[in-house]
Amino acid sequence: MTKETVRRHILEIGIIPSVRTSSADDARFAVETVAEAGIPIVEITMTVPGALVVVAELAGAMPELVVGAGTILDIETARRCADAGARFLTSPGLDPEIVAFALTAGILAMPGALTPTEVTTAARVGADFIKIFPCAPLGGPSYIQALKGPFPHIPLVAAGGVNQQTAAEFIVAGAAAIGVGRELIPRKAVLQRDRHWIGELARRFLSIIQEARGHADA
């Protein structure tokens, strides 16, 4: 799967599920469930026990799935994620070294940023997407809208506090995609292996994104 294909999938789907579970088995269940519901993109955070093994297994067993690695805090972890088969790398903050590594490895880079200065720096070093995190405490959709003023052509991903009530507002405000964790993959639903619950949430989010994009285009 090429980097351009990964970019296209993220822009098309508009949702990046963040899988942050307490076990590798829970992570596999969550990924399989959201993929079956129509979201073939997942970010496995490095806080998941055995995260690298999970990334490698998913990349090998589900080639149509866009598997990314998240909460990457250092270059060595970035290298190990790339070796495991991750197709995109995300981090809560901006580390130019990680972005540079991703570009060299042909992997999509999605660093975190918050201020206009950080967004400018992330764009300058070649980030493919910039994750605005955590955006909810700083005004949520209104903050994304404010950033899109000086940065109209930079694809921003809203993350941190996004839920069903605010997802549409983030898209209308200009977010290229949203990052969603527990609001899409509730811990209780994972523990109970409730595919219907997670699947219904996935379909709701997909519908919200589609409808919001229609309003934004109009």
- pLDDT score for 3: 94
CA distance 190 to 201: 13
Is residue 16 within 8 Å of residue 68, measured between CB atoms? yes
Residue 180: its pLDDT value, please?
97
Question: What is the rounded average pLDDT of the residues 116-120?
Answer: 97
pLDDT in tens, 17-64: 999 999 999 999 999 999 999 999 999 999 999 999 999 999 999 999
d(CA 44, CA 55): 7
Total number of domains constituting the chain:
1
What does the alpha-carbon distance between residue 108 and residue 61 come to, in Å, rounded to a whole number?
Answer: 21
- Of the pLDDT bands very low, low, confident and very high (cuts 50, 70, 90), residue 1 is confident
Return the bridge partners of 16, or none. Answer: 179
What is the DSSP code string of 175-203?
-SEEEESTTTS-HHHHHTT-HHHHHHHHH
Q: What's the pLDDT score for residue 138?
A: 85
With cut-offs at 50, 70 and 90, classify the pLDDT of residue 218. Answer: low
- The boundaries of the domain holding residue 98 are 3-217
pLDDT at 217: 66
Q: Return the pLDDT at 137.
A: 87
The whole-number pLDDT of residue 38 equals 96
pLDDT in tens, 100-111: 999 999 999 999
CATH code where residue 139 lies: 3.20.20.70
pLDDT score recorded for residue 204:
97
Average pLDDT over residues 129-151: 95
pLDDT in tens, 56-90: 999 999 999 999 999 999 999 999 999 999 999 99
